[in-house]
Structure 1
Amino acid sequence: MKIIRYAFWAIIAICLITVGLANRGAVTLRAMPEVLGNLVGVSPDITLPLYVVIFLGVAAGLLIGFFWEWLREYKHRAEAREKGREVTQLRREVGRLKTQKHEGKDEVLALLEDAS
């Protein structure tokens, strides 16, 4: 199983290196169009290799997707927490009822009644 995992990660690494080598050209990222930047007087831009932009875009997409799913699944997590509390409360109640049922009886007879 470890060999398959290592082979998978090796293939992923080869693909990433290939994409990086094929997209080494520099690109300029601008926060706003040039015309608007000249009008405002501020034009924040940065020059990066294209593969960095691609990888940052993929990473940002993954983070946004994970966050979206976390928000979407909130109701399921809340319901599971509520059911867990309910199960804990019911277990306590069953334990309390068992001790009340056999209160004042012989312990051996109580065990035999529970077994049947």
Structure 2
Amino acid sequence: MRYVRMLLVALLAIILVGVALANRQLVTVSLFPGRLDRYMGGDWQVQMPLFLVIILALLAGMVLGLVWEWMRETTVRQESARRAHELQLLEREVRGLRVTHHAPRDEVLAILDAPKPAPAPAAAPGATVPANTPLPASPAALPARR
């Protein structure tokens, strides 16, 4: 991207030099139309090379465009500043909450932080009843099936 930008700047410089060399004749630039300048008191005309008039007109257009965009984006800048201020307030509030709620006092956090109970021992391979479950003394003690 850097080389593309340098290439465009070099191309623009070559074009501007070409315009300057092709338009070296002097022209008269007047601020007021016709002979109105004599009523304004003073000489409101100037003679300069045509390429200078072209370049100054381009620069004036660029400056006017920049000022226009700056004025148009005023509402965007104001909204951005308002949101930045709101963000600072919220960050300050979060910092304060972190200081005051540093220890986990929440019941859910206390449950999550509690140690886990040991798992029950696994059944022996092939057994249908876990190893620690007492067997009934007689078949009569078993619950009746329906």
Q: Which residue of 2 aligns with 1:12?
A: 12
Q: Which residue of 2 aligns with 1:61?
A: 61
Q: CA deviation at 1:39?
A: 4.3
Q: Which residue of 1 aligns with 2:124?
A: none
Structure 1 gap ranges (5+): none
Query: What's the RMSD between the two structures over aligned residues?
Result: 2.3
Q: Which residue of 2 aligns with 1:87?
A: 87
**Alignment coverage as a number of residue pairs:** 108
The AA in structure 2 aligned to 1:37 is: D
Q: CA deviation at 1:40?
A: 4.7
Which SS does the other structure have where 1:48 is aligned? strand
Q: CA deviation at 1:38?
A: 3.6
Q: Distance in 1 between matches of 2:38 and 2:77?
A: 49
**Which has more helix, going by share of residues?**
1
- Scaled by the length of structure 1, what TM-score is found? 0.79
Distance 1:40 1:3, change over 3 A: closer
Structure with bigger RCO (C-alpha 8 Å, 6+ apart):
1
Q: CA deviation at 1:36?
A: 1.7
Deviations, residues 9-66 of structure 1 (Å, cap 9, x unaligned): 2211111111111111110011213422344553311000000000000000000110
Q: Which residue of 1 aligns with 2:74?
A: 74
Which SS does the other structure have where 2:28 is aligned? strand
Which SS does the other structure have where 1:96 is aligned? helix
- Scaled by the length of structure 2, what TM-score is found? 0.64
**Once superposed, which parts of structure 1, at least 4 consecutive aligned residues long, lie more than 4 Å away?**
none
Structure 2 gap ranges (5+): 114-146
Q: Which residue of 2 aligns with 1:45?
A: 45
Deviations, residues 41-94 of structure 1 (Å, cap 9, x unaligned): 533110000000000000000001101111111111111111011111111111
Task: Give 1 or 2 for the bigger CA radius of gyration.
Answer: 2
Q: Distance in 1 between matches of 2:99 and 2:39?
A: 81
Identical pairs, percent? 36
Q: Distance in 1 between matches of 2:2 and 2:78?
A: 36
Query: Once structures 1 and 2 are overlaid, which stretch shifts more, 73-82 or 39-48?
Result: 39-48
Do 1:24 and 1:51's aligned partners in 2 also have CA atoms closer than 8 Å?
A: yes
Which SS does the other structure have where 1:46 is aligned? strand
